[in-house]
Amino acid sequence: MIVGSGLLARSFADAYSQRDDVCIYAAGVSNSACKSSDEFARERQRLADALRTAHHVGVFVYFGTCSVADPDAQDMSYVQHKLAMEGLVQAHPQGLVIRLPQVAGKAFNTHNLLNYLYARISRSECFELWSKAKRNIIDVGDVAAIANYLIADKTVRNTTINVANTVNYSMQDIVHAMERAVGKQALFDAAERGHEYPINVERIIPMLVKAGVVFDSTYLDKVIGKYYGMAT
């Protein structure tokens, strides 16, 4: 069963929408800048209801955020909320929390980093670039490919696993990749802000070859070109 209708939900729908032994919870607050207690309360209630309904499943998958390790984000209401939701899922006998970085895909969430950069660059609008920040980018298709192995492994339960790229990219590199995809030069003011924070991906390394996921030197350009290139 699938809970949700967004980017992640669509990516898992073909494999799991008709299965009653797996619950993919891919719903909730998508704006990391959200501070609305009402929005957070609604997600908490919806998640609690889903956990009760799916008490029998072999695995209940919830998507957290790798931003919990970001020094710039740890005090954000959104991050604190996501941690609280992880706690609910970890209480499920078959709960599995998959933490994700920036996910690339065909989505309409304007708060997504890549969508934000695409909008600004394609419209020749100036934006602030945090020159010291690095971000982790992964294709939603690769998220699903790796997660499939975690879901199939019955020993991977009641745990939290990062599903992310093995490489963090500087914001300058991400912007340059978007420039190449869009075919326009970015207009930005550089600010000496941001951090690079580590994301431990040791748990998924053995699965990458089997999942057909290759994080090579061309990965960033391939992913951004796939979803934002002029021919798409």
Report DSSP letters for 7-70, one per residue.
HHHHHHHHHHTT-SSEEEE--S---TT---HHHHHHHHHHHHHHHHHTTT-SEEEEEEEGGGG-
- pLDDT for the residue numbered 105: 94
- Specify the pTM: 0.93
Whether CATH 3.40.50.620 fits 2-228: no
Residue 207 CA neighbour count, 13 Å, CB half: 24
- pLDDT for the residue numbered 231: 58
- pLDDT for the residue numbered 232: 59
Q: For residue 147, with 0-12 CB atoms within 10 Å meaning exposed, 13-18 middle and 19 or more buried, which class applies?
A: buried
Q: For residue 120, with 0-12 CB atoms within 10 Å meaning exposed, 13-18 middle and 19 or more buried, which class applies?
A: buried
Residue 91 host element (H or E): none
Neighbours of 167 (CB within 10 A): 16
- pLDDT for the residue numbered 29: 77
pLDDT tens profile 38-65: 889 999 999 999 999 999 999 999 999 9
For the chain, list residues with pLDDT below 70.
231-232
Domain assignments of the chain as residue spans, ordered by start: 2-228
